[in-house]
A and B are shown apart, each in its own frame.
Chain A
Amino acid sequence: MHRRHGGARLSAAPYLFLAPAIVLFILFLAVPIGYTVHLALRRTRVSGLGLGKGSRREVFVGLDNLRAAVTDDELWAGWLRVLGYGTLVLVVMLGLALLFALLLDSAHVRLARFSRIAIFLPYAVPGVVASLLWGFLYLPSLTPIGGIDFLSASAVTYSMANVAVWGGTGFNMLVLYTNLRAIPRSYYEAARMDGASELAIALRVKIPILVPAIILTTVFSIIATIQVFTEPTTLRPLTNTISSTWSPLMKVYRDAFVTGDLYSAAATSLVIAAVSLVLSFGFLRVVRGRAFGEGR
């Protein structure tokens, strides 16, 4: 590094370049998070009938809201439902994504371009639209597939998972496929010379190299699954089997906008954020050595 100008100017420059990012971060991330914490510690207290001026004021309640959020049975029941739904989505969606990526990357594939676009296309359909489309297909009197009530209590989780898998497989496939294309072809030639079949190449060469990408897609998918909201919310008006607190995020929405309790909603948001952090970083910690070990 050459110091051609005054030291003061040089040391100010990085901050100048960083300023837009810092301002955006503060405005749209730090302040909202701070405000959420602020709300989570407060509550309105009503006196008497609660009608008229001055009968309602905001008070500090400490950790009461958070305690209520953590001990709310309905929230944990929601986590359990999301756990079942999420396991299903994660396994099926990522399994299919990996399968499709490997198939598209294999030497014998036909109509590769068309298949790639066809599998990716559902990702371009907004979640609400996808849920509505599927919702209509699920309705007993409208469905072309007879004999199954897709919206019954026993089937509704699978029906929702299907919407998520349909919409998410393409994106994950593309991430994995792009990674596959970056692998030098010479690896495969070497494997073939050693007598490896296409299947053996996929299992022993491609998948091990793909592990970091698989981990990346898994982390993204875990986060998205924890935040599941669109599918159940859109399907809810069509059936009796999805409650207003089916997923934790739906409970936040209900508290904030249906029952008008921003304070509980803020507290539950913090709990969800904590669970997301624990799950995502927990998963990363478990797989870190394997995935990123080579890079160190």
Chain B
Amino acid sequence: MRTKRLAIALATMLAAGCGGAAETPAAAPATSAPAGPVSLTYWTWAPNMDKIAEVWNQANPDIKVTVSKQAGGDDAAAKFLTAAKAGNAPDLVQAEYQHLPSFIAADAVADIAAEAAAVKPEFSAGLWGLVTLGTESVYAIPQDSGPMMLYYRKDLFEKYGIGVPKTWDEYAEAARTVHKADPKVYLGSFSSKDPGWFAGLAQQAGAQWWSISGDAWKVGINDAATTKVADFWGGLVQEGVIDDMPYFTPEWNKALNDGTQLSWPSAVWGPGVLESNAPKGKGKWGIAPLPQWNAGENFSGFWGGSSTAVSAGSKNRAAAVKFATWLNTDPQGIDLLVKEAFVYPASGKGQAALGAPPAYFAESQPDFWQQAATIGTSARGFTFGPNVGVTYNAYKDAFDKALQDKSPFSASVGTMQDTTVADMQKSGFTLAQ
């Protein structure tokens, strides 16, 4: 609470302030076409990307890439959309798969099919679908992906006498066993703050939140698969055998570190999180495929993952695509991505290039990358819609409310569906019935 405010009218400035920015004239691009060296700006939050760009700049003096480090997450998407609206977007931008459709809908990223179609064979059909939305256009080049798996404490699973759950039924049984043995200990937590996590679990169950049929969007967030996933977790939370603290909070970190959370259904980028948040668990965690809905099945979903897109306003599209292609498909680029930026590359040949396991898993899971690669092939995704921000925000609010009111989780899925559809109708999207 601060009372330094000058005028009552300041309340209007929040929205107006960014509007003001929108009126500033577009920054003039440094160069126009092939004449002379080209200068590109690149917004990304991958670590050490400036070093990787430096390697490129040394080898390609005619295309100079300047990296501007971003804060990642939903804020980065909002920032890019605002910059694009203001006409001063960077040439290249790291775009998470779920935000790419919003970028396309806002006309903020370029269709690079002419320049980039040739790299299609590098990627799995599922990932390629995420950057084309199933159309003839190509809106970005996949960079990394986040197939989901189950991280678990090997030593504590042994201590509580539970095996690695093969099905979600076994997972529920294990959750009961563990919590009964020690009421302070939980097998895992349901996070109402991580819609991407829930989307991945829904993908595993076969959900299709959005799809394009002809000239219309179909929204199916409350489909049978998603409702099944929601009610499964809702049941465990209401039974009290699964915790409900959000991920990535100090409290959750503490629980991971002191061994009161025994597992985490997460993505391939999990080691970095565990290493910094649960240093005491080094050498004690293992990975396994996600529990399945039906015994004998083998499916996973995606949580996170991003691509490199070229902004619609870029005056140097060809050069930008050239860099993005090198970064994500050239052996040298992929090698740097793996070693410097610690990403799990989207490119098929990149995954084969992964060598030593992350240090955190060196003792407990020396075959980390082989396991991850096997699990990765079983992951299935879905098309993201043009208003993921609305849906994801609805997830947070609806599940927060469900946890507070102890109401059924399937109702929250219904709220997500209704909010998403209402927003699309308000904007005028054509919706299939």
Interface residues of A (CB under 8 A from B): 29, 31-33, 35-36, 38-39, 43-53, 55-56, 89, 93, 127, 136, 139-142, 153, 164, 167-168, 171-172, 217, 220-221, 223-228, 230-231, 237-245, 249, 252-254, 256-262, 265-266, 268-270, 272-273, 276-277, 280
Q: Which residues of B contact A93 (CB under 8 A)?
A: 1
- Bound CA span A105–B332, Å: 72
A153-B404, A262-B19 are contacts. A47–B397 as well, Cβ < 8 Å? no
CB distance from A159 to the nearest CB of B (A): 14
Partner of B102, one of A39, A127, A260, A262: A260
Report A-chain residues with C-beta under 8 Å of the C-beta of B401. Answer: 243
Main secondary structure of the interface of A (DSSP, over half): helix
Give the residue name and chain of the B residue nearest to A54 (CB).
B107
> Within the assembled complex, what's the spacing in Å between the Cα atoms of A239 and B390?
20
- Chain B, residue nearest A38 (CB): B19
Chain A residues closer than 8 Å to B135, beta-carbon distance: 51
Q: Which one of B158-166, B243-251, B278-286, B318-326 contacts A? A: B243-251
Q: What is the bound-complex CA distance between A124 and B70, given in angstroms? A: 28
By a CB distance below 8 angstroms, the chain B residues around A48 are 215-216, 429-430
| Contacts A49-B430, A142-B250, A237-B246 given; does A266 touch B9 at CB 8 Å | no
Contact B14 A256 (CB under 8 A): yes
Contact A45 B3 (CB under 8 A): no
Q: How far is the CB of B158 from chain A (nearest CB, A)?
A: 25
Q: Which residues of A contact B173 (CB under 8 A)?
A: none
Q: Report A-chain residues with C-beta under 8 Å of the C-beta of B111.
A: 52
Q: Are A241 and B15 in contact (CB under 8 A)?
A: no
Q: Among B2, B105, B389, which residue has its beta carbon within 8 angstroms of that of A50?
A: B105
Set of chain A residues within 8 Å of B429, measured between Cβ atoms: 46, 48-50
The one of A29, A225, A226, A259 in contact with B390, judged by C-beta atoms closer than 8 angstroms, is A259
How far apart sit A273 and B350, CA to CA, in the bound complex (Å)?
54
Contacts of B5 in A (CB 8 A): 220, 223-224, 227
Q: Which of B2, B19, B215, B389 contacts A35 (CB 8 A)?
A: B19
29 contacts between A and B (CB under 8 A): A29-B7, A35-B16, A46-B427, A47-B430, A48-B215, A50-B105, A50-B427, A51-B104, A51-B105, A51-B135, A51-B386, A56-B106, A140-B251, A141-B251, A142-B250, A142-B251, A153-B404, A168-B1, A172-B3, A224-B1, A238-B251, A240-B246, A240-B399, A241-B404, A245-B397, A258-B393, A260-B78, A260-B102, A266-B15
Contact residue among A254, A260, A277 (Cβ-Cβ distance under 8 Å from B106): A260
Q: Is B224 an interface residue (CB 8 A)?
A: no
Tell me if A269 and B137 are in contact (CB < 8 A). Answer: no
Closest to B13 in A: A32
Q: Do the beta carbons of B389 and A52 come within 8 Å of each other?
A: no
Contacting pair B12 A45 (CB below 8 A): no
Residues of B within 8 A of A270 (CB): 12
Given A225-B1, A240-B192, A258-B78 contact (CB < 8 Å):
yes
Contact partners of B396 in chain A: CB under 8 A: 243-244
Identify A276's interface contact among B11, B107, B244, B428, CB under 8 A: B11
Q: Is B17 an interface residue (CB 8 A)?
A: yes
Nearest CB on B from A259, distance (A): 4
Known interface pairs A49-B215, A238-B250, A240-B246. Does A32 touch B17 (Cβ–Cβ under 8 Å)?
yes
- Picked from A32, A240, A242, the residue with its CB within 8 Å of the CB of B16 is A32
Q: Which of A33, A38, A50, A168 has the most CB of B within 10 A?
A: A50
Contact A167 B133 (CB under 8 A): no
Q: Which of B133, B217, B248, B250 contacts A139, CB < 8 Å?
A: B250
B8 within 8 A of A: yes
User: Does B81 count as interface, using CB distance less than 8 angstroms?
Assistant: yes
B240 to chain A, nearest CB (A): 15
Name, among B18, B82, B111, B255, the residue most crowded by chain A CB atoms within 10 Å (CB to CB): B18
Nearest to A169 among chain B residues (CB) is B1
A39–B393 CB distance below 8 A: no
Contact with A along B78-89 (1 / 0, CB 8 A): 100110000000
B16 x A136 contact (CB < 8 A): no
Closest 9 CB pairs of A and B: A32-B16, A220-B3, A164-B1, A36-B16, A257-B78, A168-B1, A35-B19, A46-B428, A265-B15
List A contacts of B193 (CB < 8 A). Answer: 237
Give the residues in chain B near A254, CB-CB below 8 Å.
393
Q: How far is the CA of A223 from the CA of B429 in the complex (A)?
A: 39
B39 interfacial contact with A, CB 8 Å: no
Q: Given A141-B254, A254-B393, is A241 in contact with B19 using a C-beta cutoff of 8 Å?
A: no
Extra contacts besides A46-B428, A47-B430, A259-B390 (14): CB < 8 Å: A32-B12, A35-B23, A45-B428, A47-B428, A49-B429, A50-B386, A93-B1, A220-B3, A223-B3, A227-B10, A237-B248, A238-B251, A240-B192, A259-B423
Q: Please, which residue of chain B has its CB at the minimum distance from the CB of A166? A: B1
User: Would B1 and A52 count as touching, CB distance under 8 A?
Assistant: no
In the complex, which residues of chain B have a beta carbon less than 8 angstroms from the beta carbon of A172? 3
Of B3, B13, B137, the most chain A CB neighbours within 10 A belong to B3
Asked if A256 and B105 sit within 8 Å, CB to CB, the answer is: no
On whether A243 and B400 interact (CB within 8 A), knowing A36-B15, A139-B249, A273-B9, the answer reads yes
Evaluate contact between B15 and A260: CB separation under 8 angstroms. Answer: no
Knowing A142-B250, A240-B192, A257-B75, the reply to whether A171 touches B15 (Cβ < 8 A) is no
